[in-house]
Structure 1
Amino acid sequence: MQKTSPIGIFDSGYGGLTVFRSIADRLPDYQYIYLGDNARSPYGDHSFDTIYKYTLECVEWLFAKGCELVILACNTASAKALRTIQQKDLPAKYPGKRVLGVIRPTAEVINQFTSSKTVGVMGTRGTINSQSYLLEINKFFPEIRVYQQSCPMWVPLIENNEHLQSGADFFINEYCRQLMTQSDDIDCVLLACTHYPLLLPKLKKVFPDYINILTQGEIVAASLVDYLQRHPDIEKKLSRNQEKSFFTSGDPLAFDEHASIFFGEDLKSEKM
């Protein structure tokens, strides 16, 4: 019998496509289903309970599509929903399935990107308020000092394709300034939102040259490669037909228009 278990990749909107791109480049043979909850994006300012509810609904939708493994390519969902889903929902209802996030893989390797052991984290209000990066980095590297900055305007600017316009400069410059005034020792800035890589051209102009600006796509992709090697019981269930399917809770035409910017190629989505 042919295996029909895609890898599910979920994000509140478009940002997870930057992670998906890296995963697909590293693991091109597998089948993938991407789901963007664009109708309810952004997640950053929602409550813990709301984000958990929305994320679980989308994870269960991917499970119903045959996914044995789902990646939460969304920092806010990883921060506010992943632990509950892993500890409560999977054992009770889906004991054979797995859900992974983007925070732990990043925290596990953050020490490789800082010489001063001082890191800045930029993310949505939900991710920053959860303190998830602070806790996870401290768990692996207690010697690293972490300074955080929420950037509530960045996702709306990116999702409306206004991030490279001159009108976005104030919010980009201001959030970067607020982070850097917290410590002169910061030499690594983690973009803890999968939307933020689209800001790299402007961020590289704002931050000093010695700042290492860290995105998550390659990190998460490398972590997934390692995970599948360590969990052959999961890997053997996955289908390998190189198919990529895209779904959105919003308008597919609007999704297709914006998503190509994040994914790096034209795509066609369906309504979930």
Structure 2
Amino acid sequence: MNNKVSSIGVFDSGFGGLTVFKSIAQKLPQYNYIYLGDNARSPYGDHSFETVYQYTLECVEWLFAQGCPLVILACNTASAKALRSIQQLDLPKKYPNNRVLGVIRPTAEVIGNFTKTQNIGVMGTRGTINSNSYPIEISRFFPTLKVHQQSCPMWVPIIENGEHLGDGADFFVKEYVQELLQKSADIDCILLACTHYPLLIPKIEQQLPENIQVLSQGEIVANSLANYLQRHTEIESKLAKHSKKTFYTSGDIATFNAHASVFLGEEIKTQKMNSALLP
């Protein structure tokens, strides 16, 4: 089998998707993976729907060109603002044999299993929260669930500037958590709807009573992907199984390598995305 047509693509606007990638690679280590971070144009959180769609489609098409018949949008903003358009408009016309999956639906399918009070909090970027993608998607699977949302615009910049372990992050963690909890006293589960946010879990949990559970998406998405591949043998059969992991960034390689070691817990060697390879 030609390796160029056999990898799983994992895309994020920057570094955060590496938390999802790490869980996927641990759950399904046998497959080949290509990770792409569009760091030159990140963060996506405050961009318009049209811009996020354009950027995401360009990166998805680039991954298709590298031989990825399946691409995971390991980015909540891209999943919220671009996934549906790509699935409904672009794949049928140009890539009928390829698939693009996101992180919102897999989470929505199981989130109700983690709450006893039927009240959950969702913390995400301004773009994800304003899209209302989570309340809409969750209501399809758990109609009685009450979703309380909180945008956290400062968290991604704090993390990407390496300040998430410092005292400076405490103020903004406390501020957003308190704003969320003021919306309902019945919240017993908080979903971190941004792939950067798991790096803040220790500080988030310090601001919460013990009865509130914090969920990140990595393991949920990994389990969903494993199930998807079992059900879709026409995709799974295309995937090479050499446990090869390749990383690309549209931004600065040295910067990406330094941040990636924080998100992955291991050092990697990244390659520069050649935008001229876009279809």
TM score, norm. by length of structure 2? 0.96
3-state SS in 2 of match to 1:183: coil
2:150 matched to which residue of 1?
149
- Aligned match of 2:276: none
How is 1:207-222 mapped onto 2 (pairs within 5 angstroms)?
207-222=208-223
**Deviation for aligned residue 1:264:** 1.5
Deviations 1:116-171 (A, max 9, x none): 00000000000000000000011110110000000000001101111111111111
C-alpha distance after superposition, 1:240-271 (max 9, x if no partner): 11110000010001100011110121101011
In the alignment, the residues of structure 2 paired with residue 156 and residue 189 of structure 1 have an alpha-carbon distance, to the nearest angstrom, of: 21
Q: Equivalent residue for 1:6?
A: 7
1:245-264 residue pairs with structure 2 within 5 A?
245-264=246-265
Identity %: 68
Post-superposition offset of 1:10? 0.2
Aligned residue in 2 for 1:241: 242
Cα deviation per residue 1:56-84 (whole Å; 9 max; x = unaligned)? Answer: 01000000000000000000000000000
- Distance in 1, matches of 2:91 and 2:16, equals 25
Tell me the CA shift for residue 2 of structure 1: 4.2
The one-letter code of the counterpart of 1:47 is: S
Aligned mates of 1:2, 1:97 — CA distance in 2: 16
Question: What letter is aligned with 1:131?
Answer: N
The DSSP-based 3-state class of the residue aligned with 2:11 is: strand
Aligned position for 2:44: 43
The one-letter code of the counterpart of 2:137 is E
TM-align CA RMSD? 0.7
Separation in 1, partners of 2:179, 2:58: 36
Distance in 1 of aligned mates of 2:118 and 2:83: 27
Note if 1:188 corresponds to 2:182: no
Letter in 2 for 1:195: H
Structure 1 residue identity aligned to 2:120: V
Equivalent position of 2:204 in the other structure: 203
Distance 2:13 2:131 in 1: 17
- TM-score scaled by length of structure 1: 0.99
Partner of 1:172: 173
SS across alignment from 1:70: strand
SS of aligned partner of 2:78? helix
Letter in 2 for 1:240: K
**CA distance in 2: counterparts of 1:6 and 1:160, whole angstroms:** 31
- Answer with 62-71 or 2-11: which moved more: 2-11
Shift of 1:204: 1.1
Matched letter for residue 167 of structure 2: S
What residue identity is the alignment partner of 1:40? R
Partner deviation per Cα, 1:4-54 (whole Å, 9 max, x = no partner): 410000000000000000000010010000000111111000000000000
